[in-house]
């Protein structure tokens, strides 16, 4: 499955890191980083076997920029 993180819209609330530190951490600029993701057209994408806690991160993100796709 693919995880998309529209990082440019992140407000740095840290919720994703709190519920899903396996995949998210806060970068030096104070905004979330999807670990191991590659940037594509301004969006960060990561292919994973198991979305694990990313679903929860997606639900708690107040600006809804963590998207789980096919």
Residues making contact with ligand SF4 (CB under 6 A): 10-16, 32, 61-63, 65-66
Q: How far is the CB of 41 from ligand SF4 (least distance, A)?
A: 18
CA distance 13 to 2: 23
Beta-bridge partner residues of 35: none
Q: How far is the CB of 30 from ligand SF4 (least distance, A)?
A: 9
Q: How far is the CB of 49 from ligand SF4 (least distance, A)?
A: 22
Are the beta carbons of 34 and 26 closer than 8 angstroms?
no
Residue 1 CA to its chain's centroid (Å): 13
């Amino acid at each position: 499955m693919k995880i998309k993180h529209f990082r440019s819209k992140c407000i740095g609330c840290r919720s994703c890191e709190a519920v899903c530190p396996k995949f998210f951490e806060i970068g030096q600029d104070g905004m979330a980083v999807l670990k191991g993701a590659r940037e594509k057209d301004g969006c960060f994408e990561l292919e994973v076997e198991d979305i694990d806690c990313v679903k929860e991160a997606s639900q708690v993100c107040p600006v809804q920029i963590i998207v789980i796709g096919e």
